[in-house]
């Protein structure tokens, strides 16, 4: 009896221990896997667990306001305020911008200063997409976490003389580095640029932006609005450049608000009061900023192009500061620079730098020219940067059916006051009939970018009438589709340059839909046999006139039968 019981006991114990061992094995395996996943691909985990959540978590108020007409929901007070606003454009992004804006219509003024020689030139898409891989990886950065500003005053004459003599550089550097409390010599490169000696300080050849770049012993002196490149006594260099560091070359109206800087070679210079161990980028912020399109094409894209290679180890010196603007985009600034912004116009220090860039690299409207940009950056890189900056979960659209039961999502960018959709409910119903989940949003002054970017990133297709709101396409996932609706007036070319070419360079699919006469509210103002319908190009009498005639006084009543095929095509694209 006893033996039997003992045998039973032993057996059950053994079973227990086997179960336990199995359990331990399973848990162990799970932990190892988890650790591996977390270590190797933290993003993947995040995406898998939360990727779609963000969509569902989007505030209720943002989702499908199907039945409501934009007008019906608008706050009456705001509407009357809007009505009194003498400025026709509702694209301004910030009240302060409005207040200070003599640039009453900055949105499309861009078009007046476009270089015709550049239009039509396009990078092959495959190349663009191909070069998009791994923004972070291809840059081999060294992180410098040393004090960058010292209160030491460099003795001018000596350092100035040494700076240009390659052989004596290490000595100079030692001196400087002792001061800055650093000795690893990782900045040696900055000093050892032997090529630099003969290169002109500035490059004025670009049609859109003048940029100066120099390495050596540089003094930036805000009092005198000047940047001085120190020369040894024996040097023959004698350069003097004047530039406004805002990338709208030739646009006098815009540049009239921008401080002119002098960049010169010099043998005498003021004493340094601040020393920077990282490169300094000097640029202006007024101009046309305050309009979403210009925020990007004039400032954010050029800033990314110019400064992202430094991986945060860069100091920004901003002339013509717009504090509200730096607040609006503070997440972008935080991503680009680890150092507090310096307001150049208020600053009285003499900054000593080894590497300075004055002005921002900019090319065609809202694009990056990879053949000229540092590190061959592309708009694909820019979009990836923006998605990361705003912590957006979707890198690319997923094919239909990949996520069961998920409907393709369509964002309609609505507008108020100008270029509105007059039949929004009908458009929404049609899109829903095709199987879309529809989101209607308006990007305006009060839009919170971090929230709005999440909505944009959650959709597969974004559509809207030509206007600054389409700039939000930077937040779309890769391979999403942008549909631009072109108002009547023969303005297809401008529309393509502003958003079509950029969208394609961003790795988005792009559709352009030109409305027909019967879809334009201009038919309420002019008889059907009017010249404006027969020959709209006759009304292209300067930018102001075009804007008044076709942009400010036109709304769109989309012909759903005519437009439906475009949406169907986007569904086809999602199936690829």
Site for ligand NAG in 165-224 (CB under 6 A): 223
Identify whether the C-beta of residue 225 lies closer than 8 Å to the C-beta of residue 259. Answer: yes
Identify whether the C-beta of residue 283 lies closer than 8 Å to the C-beta of residue 361. Answer: no
Q: Minimum distance between the CB of residue 91 and ligand NAG, rounded to whole angstroms? A: 11
Task: Single out the segment in contact with ligand NAG by CB under 6 A; choices: 96-104, 331-339, 441-449, 535-543.
Answer: 441-449
Task: Single out the segment in contact with ligand NAG by CB under 6 A; choices: 2-10, 110-118, 439-447, 456-464.
Answer: 439-447
Task: Single out the segment in contact with ligand NAG by CB under 6 A; choices: 370-378, 490-498, 534-542, 552-560.
Answer: 370-378
Helix (H) or strand (E) holding 27: helix 2-40
Comparing every residue's Cβ against ligand NAG, the nearest one is: 371
Cβ nearer to ligand NAG, comparing 82 with 253: 82
Identify whether the C-beta of residue 390 lies closer than 8 Å to the C-beta of residue 440. Answer: no
DSSP 231-249: --TT-----EEEE-SSS-T
Task: Single out the segment in contact with ligand NAG by CB under 6 A; choices: 168-176, 211-219, 333-341, 444-452.
Answer: 444-452
Q: Does residue 371 belong to the site contacting ligand NAG (CB under 6 A)?
A: yes
Cβ nearer to ligand NAG, comparing 164 with 478: 478
Cβ nearer to ligand NAG, comparing 315 with 479: 479
Q: Does residue 5 belong to the site contacting ligand NAG (CB under 6 A)?
A: no
Identify whether the C-beta of residue 422 lies closer than 8 Å to the C-beta of residue 555. Answer: yes
Q: Does residue 376 belong to the site contacting ligand NAG (CB under 6 A)?
A: yes
Whole-angstrom Cα distance, residue 542 to residue 548? Answer: 10
Task: Please identify which residue in 144, 434, 445, 560 interacts with ligand NAG, judged by CB under 6 A.
Answer: 445
Whole-angstrom Cα distance, residue 213 to residue 211? Answer: 7
Strands 274-276 and 409-414, by their bridges, are unpaired
Q: Does residue 571 belong to the site contacting ligand NAG (CB under 6 A)?
A: no
Task: Please identify which residue in 93, 107, 381, 441 interacts with ligand NAG, judged by CB under 6 A.
Answer: 441
Closest C-alpha to 497, from 303, 297, 205, 286 = 297
Q: Minimum distance between the CB of residue 30 and ligand NAG, rounded to whole angstroms? A: 30
Cβ nearer to ligand NAG, comparing 188 with 345: 345
Mask for 517-556, x = binds ligand NAG (CB under 6 A) = ----------------------------------------
Task: State phi, psi for 158 to the nearest 5 degrees.
Answer: -60, -55
- Within 156-280, where are the H helices? 156-163, 169-180, 188-191, 252-255
Site for ligand NAG in 255-274 (CB under 6 A): 270
Cβ nearer to ligand NAG, comparing 198 with 576: 576
Q: Minimum distance between the CB of residue 90 and ligand NAG, rounded to whole angstroms? A: 7
Buried b (16+ CB within 10 A) or exposed e, 518-557: ebbbbbeeeeeeeebbeebeebeeebeebbebbbbbbbbb
Give the CA distances from residue 480 to residues 120, 462, 477, 508, in Å, rounded to whole numbers and listed in that order: 23, 8, 6, 5
Cβ nearer to ligand NAG, comparing 151 with 561: 151
Mask for 350-369, x = binds ligand NAG (CB under 6 A) = x-------------------
Whole-angstrom Cα distance, residue 412 to residue 382? Answer: 23
Task: Please identify which residue in 13, 24, 32, 396 interacts with ligand NAG, judged by CB under 6 A.
Answer: 396
Q: Does residue 478 belong to the site contacting ligand NAG (CB under 6 A)?
A: yes
- For the chain, the first-to-last Cα distance in angstroms comes to 73
Query: In which residue are the tokens 């930077």 written?
Result: 474
Residues 6+ apart with CB under 8 A from 539: 489, 531, 532, 545, 546, 549, 550
**Residues near ligand NAG (CB under 6 A):** 74-75, 78, 151, 223, 270, 348, 350, 371, 375-376, 396, 416, 441-442, 444-446, 478-479, 576
């Amino acid at each position: 009896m006893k033996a039997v019981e003992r045998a039973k006991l032993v057996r059950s114990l053994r079973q227990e221990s086997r179960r336990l061992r199995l359990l331990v094995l399973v848990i162990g395996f799970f932990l190892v896997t988890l650790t591996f996943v977390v270590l190797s691909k933290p993003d993947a985990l995040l995406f898998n667990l939360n990727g779609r959540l963000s969509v569902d978590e989007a505030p209720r108020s943002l989702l499908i306001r199907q039945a409501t007409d934009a007008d019906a929901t608008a706050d009456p007070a705001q509407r009357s305020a809007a009505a009194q606003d003498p400025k026709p454009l509702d694209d301004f992004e910030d009240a302060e911008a409005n207040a200070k804006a003599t640039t009453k219509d900055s949105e499309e003024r861009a078009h007046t200063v476009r270089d015709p020689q550049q239009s039509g030139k396009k990078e092959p898409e495959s190349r663009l997409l191909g070069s998009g891989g791994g923004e972070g990886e291809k840059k081999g950065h060294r992180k410098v976490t040393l004090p960058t500003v010292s209160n030491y005053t460099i003795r001018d004459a000596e350092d100035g003389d040494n700076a240009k003599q390659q052989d004596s550089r290490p000595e100079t550097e030692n001196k400087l580095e002792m001061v800055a409390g650093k000795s690893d010599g990782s900045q040696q490169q900055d000093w050892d640029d032997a090529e630099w000696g003969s290169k002109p300080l500035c490059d004025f050849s670009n049609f859109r932006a003048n940029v100066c770049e120099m390495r050596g012993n540089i003094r930036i002196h805000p009092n005198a609005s000047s940047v001085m490149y120190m020369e040894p006594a024996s040097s023959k260099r004698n350069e003097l450049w004047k530039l406004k560091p805002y990338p709208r070359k030739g646009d006098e109206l815009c540049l009239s608000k921008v401080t002119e800087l002098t960049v010169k070679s010099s043998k005498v210079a003021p004493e340094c009061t601040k020393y920077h161990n990282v490169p300094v980028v000097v640029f202006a912020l007024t101009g046309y900023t305050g309009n979403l399109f210009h925020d990007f094409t004039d400032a954010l894209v050029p800033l990314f192009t110019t400064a992202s290679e430094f991986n945060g180890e860069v100091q920004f010196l901003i002339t013509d500061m717009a504090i509200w603007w730096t607040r609006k985009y503070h997440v972008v600034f935080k991503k680009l620079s680890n150092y507090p912004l310096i307001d150049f116009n208020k600053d009285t220090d003499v900054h000593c730098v080894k590497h300075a860039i004055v002005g921002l690299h900019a090319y065609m409207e809202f694009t990056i020219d990879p053949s000229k940009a540092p590190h061959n950056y592309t708009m694909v890189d820019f979009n990836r940067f923006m998605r990361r900056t705003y912590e957006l979960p979707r890198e690319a659209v997923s094919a239909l059916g990949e996520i069961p039961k998920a409907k393709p999502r369509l964002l309609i960018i609505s507008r108020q006051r100008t270029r509105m959709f007059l039949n929004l409910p009908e458009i929404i119903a049609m899109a829903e009939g095709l199987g879309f989940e529809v989101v209607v949003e308006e990007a305006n002054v009060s839009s919170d970018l971090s929230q709005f970017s999440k909505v944009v990133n959650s959709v597969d297709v974004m559509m809207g009438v030509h206007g600054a709101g389409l700039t939000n396409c930077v937040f779309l996932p890769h391979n999403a589709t942008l549909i631009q609706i072109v108002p009547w007036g023969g303005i297809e070319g401008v529309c393509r340059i502003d958003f079509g070419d950029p969208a394609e360079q961003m790795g988005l699919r792009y559709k352009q839909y030109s409305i027909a006469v019967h879809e334009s509210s201009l038919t309420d103002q002019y008889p059907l046999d009017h010249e404006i319908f027969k020959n709209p190009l006759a009304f292209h009498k300067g930018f102001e006139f075009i804007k008044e005639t076709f942009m400010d006084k036109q709304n769109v009543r989309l012909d759903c039968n005519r437009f439906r095929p475009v949406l169907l095509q986007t569904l086809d694209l999602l199936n690829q």
